[in-house]
A and B are shown apart, each in its own frame.
Chain A
Amino acid sequence: DARVTQTPRHKVTEMGQEVTMRCQPILGHNTVFWYRQTMMQGLELLAYFRNRAPLDDSGMPKDRFSAEMPDATLATLKIQPSEPRDSAVYFCASGLLGQDNYGYTFGSGTRLTVV
């Protein structure tokens, strides 16, 4: 089965360090989403892209978070500098506009711990 690949699966970093999370969407999918999940807030949408262009990043703290799609096979989410409150599981999902009869496919997530 086609899948969304996220790396790394786990990341522990010290406060103030830069963190980069990567996502490889399903080949041919043109929409990519970034979500963050915490116990308190649940699943929150951070940003999403269509054909590599950002459509909405209003869910992201702009001063420290940035999301990009350098090419169609890679999406990145960066946090600089990281803070303990950024500790969460970050999910990437991809889909194909006009053909979401099967919904969006999510990756297994990156579990980030900032100490």
Chain B
Amino acid sequence: DAKTTQPPSMDCAEGRAANLPCNHSTISGNEYVYWYRQIHSQGPQYIIHGLKNNETNEMASLIITEDRKSSTLILPHATLRDTAVYYCIVRVANSGNTPLVFGKGTRLSVIA
């Protein structure tokens, strides 16, 4: 079972920041937060992951609360191509024996 809770859907205006929340209140100390997205008719795509510090890459920023029980994925300037289902996943990094377990994710619609 997925160990995260996400809203089923969100809308965002094109050019605005999209902030996608995720609750993971039972996260363990050695578990990372991963974000993937799935654009229609494609396979899931890795976005970013983090342990406790905030992370940023060319795609997005990840903000993790101090107690690590929740996080927010931020797409700073959403475009129509960011319309997708976004999955928040917790797992032990580099563990080898804990594959990605996907929940239902958040369906983000970017509106022109």
Instruction: Mark A residues whose CB is within 8 Å of B.
Output: 4, 31, 33, 35, 42-43, 45, 48, 50, 55-56, 91, 93, 97-109
B86 on interface, CB distance cutoff 8 Å = no
CB-based contact A48/B99 at 8 Å: yes
Give Cα A107 to B44, complex, Å: 8
CB-based contact A55/B100 at 8 Å: no
Count of chain B residues near A, Cβ 8 A: 20
Query: How far apart are B6's CB and chain A's nearest CB, in angstroms?
Result: 12
Instruction: Mark B residues whose CB is within 8 Å of A.
Output: 34, 36, 41-46, 49, 93-94, 96-97, 99-105
Query: Whose C-beta in chain B lies nearest to the C-beta of A109?
Result: B43
Known A43-B44, A91-B44, A105-B46: A55·B97 in contact at CB below 8 Å: yes
CB-based contact A103/B99 at 8 Å: no
